Each structure stands twice: as structure tokens, then as C-alpha cells.
Amino acid sequence: MSQTTADAVRTALPMAPAKNDAGIDYELFLDCVHCGLCTSACPTYVELGDENDSPRGRIYLMRAVTDGRIELDESVQKHLDLCLDCRACESACPSGVQYGKLIEPFRIHMEKTGTKPDNLSWLQKFLLYRFTPYAGRMRLALAPARFAQWTGLDTLMRKLGMYHLMPKSLRQMHEMLPPLKAHYGTMPDVWPAEGKRRARVALFTGCAADAFFPETNLATALVLQKNGCDVWIPRKQGCCGALHYHAALDQPAKDFARANCETFFPDGGEIDAIIVNAAGCGAMLKDYGHLFHGAPEEEVAAKFAHKVKDISEFLMEIGPIKPTHPLKLKAAYHDACHLCHGQQIRKQPRQLLEMIPELQLVPLNESEICCGAAGSYNLTQPEMAERLGERKAKNVLDTGADAVLSGNVGCLIQLGRYLREKKPELLIAHPIDALWASYSGDRL
């Protein structure tokens, strides 16, 4: 549809007051023909069966608000805020609706106009926005939890019911903590390739992922090195900005993005790829060009985004070295939303896992339905996050698998939260952890 046609459609409707215009390209609304093929892919619609909580329903609400036909009242806000932004609807849509480019700027508009629901306590906000995006601070914040887990104090406090003395918001965050392994400390700036050099890459280590699962960053560097890559780890890199952007805090997100572009460039022209192992980070990094659309930084941001590759995507492009050590595991693979929907990466992680001797990959029902993590969603919408977490846990347990693997930090935390009590011996890990175990012979 041409812009002229889009303008004609819009002017035929009552015009919205300026305060209701989120600055969204109106033609993006018109891409949706309300066919409903997205509904079966939408986690909130699958759970609730409410059209207002489906992608087409939310698009209708946003367009109606923009047109001035309905008010941006509490009911509309709640339906929009309940969206996980998993983008499963984009995968299902035959019309190519860019739902992320609708819901994200609309939420930013709600934040700026003071109409976005505030579902976080001051303590949760402080920890999420002042600690989580900073790797060093996160390591410091998790030090007491690591100590408590290693010494058994954590188990003792739980048995004595002492965690019930915590504020509810802090207790909620503690319940999500995975078993924390020792941090690797400081990795070298450059890891030289093993054998003939095939590529020179930069490794994006992230913030929360590095704090919660440092072993995966270490495994990623070692896997790349094993596959003939010089691995550069820029010291001044920071958070990708996803946590702030999905919370409608666009300015801090842009600050993080700008800093990363400056860190990886001008040297960015000399690397073959920027490697990321966390799906949420990867989707955000690949979207930097859109984040700075129309801004002076757009060109550099787009070049940065073009270099970004998920680790599984990159390895399958260059042709991975075959792993040799067997892993006698029956494993299920859960598709992280921002990997399969945000980046359209599905087969590559499975292809890597299928190369591992004696690892049996079993199908997982509803593999592409969100587990309920979705960044900070399990804090802002705990009831829906719990419903989706329990749904995912049931599907995993139904496979009879010994392990569940997924390529995103949030998914691994959410899967662990709802599976640990039901099946404590179940292994929960990143596919790259499994691949490195098969390369090295180390225990997974």
C-alpha cells in the first residue's frame, strides 16, 4: 500500500489528538488485514482467549487510539502492557506485519505520556536498571547469593523459612536465581585461533548473561577459538540496551547502543562478525539501525547491526569442526523467542546439537511458544509469566528428556525456576555449553 493510500485511509477517520499519536508510520498499522493467523502463535491469546490480548487485537487498539476513536484508558493500557513482545506473531503473519515496530514505540509513547502501567517496585527498578545492565555491578550483587549457594546457607535459610522475611519484590527475584557457577574472572583481550585462522570476530559478552552464566561466555570463546577464529573481547563494551528499550526507556537504550557502536567501531571494519550468544541481546543489537532511524548515528548503527551474528548462525555459516566426545543425553531444545522470531534462527542450533555424538534431540511440543521470561516480564506480569512457565515446564517434562537447552539467558532462568522442583536432576544449559563439552570432553 502506498503512503498516499495510507494517508487517505487515515484522513477518512476521526483524527487523534496530538497526545495520542506515538509517531508510528501509519502504514505499518495498515499492513495488518486482521486475518487472525497470528492468534494461535500468541502466548497471551492462547492462555486467555481474549481478542484484546491477541496481536491483531492490540494493533486494532493502537490504531484506534491513534485515530482518536478510543481513549488510551486503563483497560487499553493493560492489554498492551500484557504483550510479551515475543514477536511470534511476526513469524506467523503472511502479510509481513512488523509488530515490534508498532508495540515498542507505542509503549515508549505511553511511558512519555505517563500512561504506561508501573508494575515494578522501587527496589526492582533499582536492581533492574542500576545493576543488571552493568556486568561488574551484577557480579558484585550476586556475590552473596553465590556464597550462600556454595556454603549451603541458601538451603538452610529456605528450610528455616527465612526468605519469607524478605520484601516480596526481592523474594520474587531471589526465586528466579539459577545455580551460580564460579566466574571466569577476566578473559584475555584476544584469543588466538587454533590452527589455520578462518575469521576474526568480536565477542559480545553482555551483562546479565555474563553474571548468571559466565561459563557460557567462556565456552563461546573457546568454541570460536577451536573453530579457527581470533576472538577479540572489547573491554569497554556494555549492555545491549534491550532491558531499557523493552521497558519503554528509549533514551538509556540509545546511550548503551551509541557506546557499543563507538567501542566496536572504527575497528568494526576489521572484524568479520560480532558474536552474541544471548537471543535477546542479539535481536536488540541487530535492531540498532532501526533504533537510530533518521538520526545521525543511523549509518554506523546499521553497519554495526550488519556484523552481528548469533553464535549458532555464525558457526553454521563457516562450517563447524565436528565434535568428538559423546554426550549420552536425551535433550529437548526450546526456541528462545528473540532467536526464532526476532532473528529467524531455528535450524542452526539444532544442527549443532545433532553433530554431538550420542546426543538424542527429542521434539518439544509448543517449542516456539514463549516460556514467560521476556526480559523483565516475569517481574512486571508475574501471573501470566507463571502460567507460561508452568505450561513450558509441562511440555518439557512430557518429553522425558534428561536436558533442556536454550539460547537465551532469560529462558534458562525461567526454565530452571519452573523445572528445578519438579525434576531436580534435569540439566538446563545453553547449546554452546553442550558443544564445548563435546569438543573438550569436560562434563556438561
Q: Is 183 a member of any domain?
A: no
Residue 155 pLDDT: 77
Predicted confidence (pLDDT) per residue in 116-135, tens digit: 666 777 777 777 778 887 88
CA–CA gap between residue 319 and residue 420 (Å, rounded):
35
Predicted confidence (pLDDT) per residue in 224-281, tens digit: 999 999 999 998 899 999 888 877 788 899 999 999 999 988 655 589 999 999 999 9
Q: Are residues 272 and 305 in the same domain?
A: yes
Q: Are residues 201 and 301 in the same domain?
A: yes
Cis peptide leading into 266, omega within 30 of 0? yes
Q: Is the model's pLDDT at 337 over the cut of 90?
A: yes
CATH number of 365's domain: 3.40.50.11810
Q: Are residues 418 and 336 in the same domain?
A: yes
The total of structural domains in the chain comes to 4
Residue 3 pLDDT: 46
CA–CA gap between residue 357 and residue 333 (Å, rounded):
16
Q: Are residues 21 and 75 in the same domain?
A: yes
Domain that holds residue 391: 324-440
Residue 14 pLDDT: 46
Q: Are residues 98 and 161 in the same domain?
A: no
Q: Are residues 309 and 226 in the same domain?
A: yes
Q: Is the model's pLDDT at 6 over the cut of 50?
A: no
Q: Is 181 a member of any domain?
A: no
Q: Is 293 a member of any domain?
A: yes
Least confident of 77-91, 177-191, 249-263: 177-191
Out of 316, 351, 372, pick the residue that ends a domain.
316
Residue 168 pLDDT: 66
CATH number of 47's domain: 1.10.1060
Residue 269 pLDDT: 58
Whether 106 and 24 have beta carbons less than 8 Å apart is answered as: yes
Grid cell 493467523 — which residue? Answer: 37
Residue 115 pLDDT: 67
Q: Are residues 288 and 338 in the same domain?
A: no
More reliable by pLDDT, 379 or 16: 379
CB-facing half-sphere around the CA of 282: CA atoms within 13 A: 29
Where do the H-state alpha helices sit in 152-249? 153-159, 168-175, 208-212, 214-226, 242-246
User: Residue 189 phi/psi, 5° resolution?
Assistant: -60, -40
CA–CA gap between residue 382 and residue 376 (Å, rounded):
10
More reliable by pLDDT, 169 or 307: 307
Mean pLDDT across the chain: 87
- The strand order across the sheet containing 229-232 reads 190-191, 229-232, 199-204, 273-276, 308-310
Q: Are residues 28 and 93 in the same domain?
A: yes
Residue % of the chain over a pLDDT of 90: 60
Q: Are residues 22 and 89 in the same domain?
A: yes
Question: Could you tell me the three cell numbers for 329?
Answer: 543425553
Residue % of the chain over a pLDDT of 70: 91
Q: Nearest to residue 21, comparing CAs of 147, 109, 135?
A: 109
Angle between helices 311-318 and 431-440 (to 10 degrees): 50
Question: Could you tell me the three cell numbers for 289?
Answer: 539501525
CA–CA gap between residue 377 and residue 417 (Å, rounded):
14
Using 50, 70 and 90 to split pLDDT, how confident is the model at 82?
A: very high
Q: Which residues are 230's β-sheet partners?
A: 200
Out of 65, 85, 112, pick the residue that ends a domain.
112
Q: Are residues 299 and 204 in the same domain?
A: yes
More reliable by pLDDT, 170 or 92: 92
Grid cell 500484557 — which residue? Answer: 82
CA–CA gap between residue 405 and residue 421 (Å, rounded):
18
Q: Measured in Å, how far apart are the chain's first and last C-alpha atoms?
A: 52
Read off the pTM.
0.88
Q: Are residues 67 and 145 in the same domain?
A: no
Q: Is 234 a member of any domain?
A: yes
Q: Are residues 301 and 202 in the same domain?
A: yes
CA–CA gap between residue 167 and residue 438 (Å, rounded):
43
Residue 16 pLDDT: 41
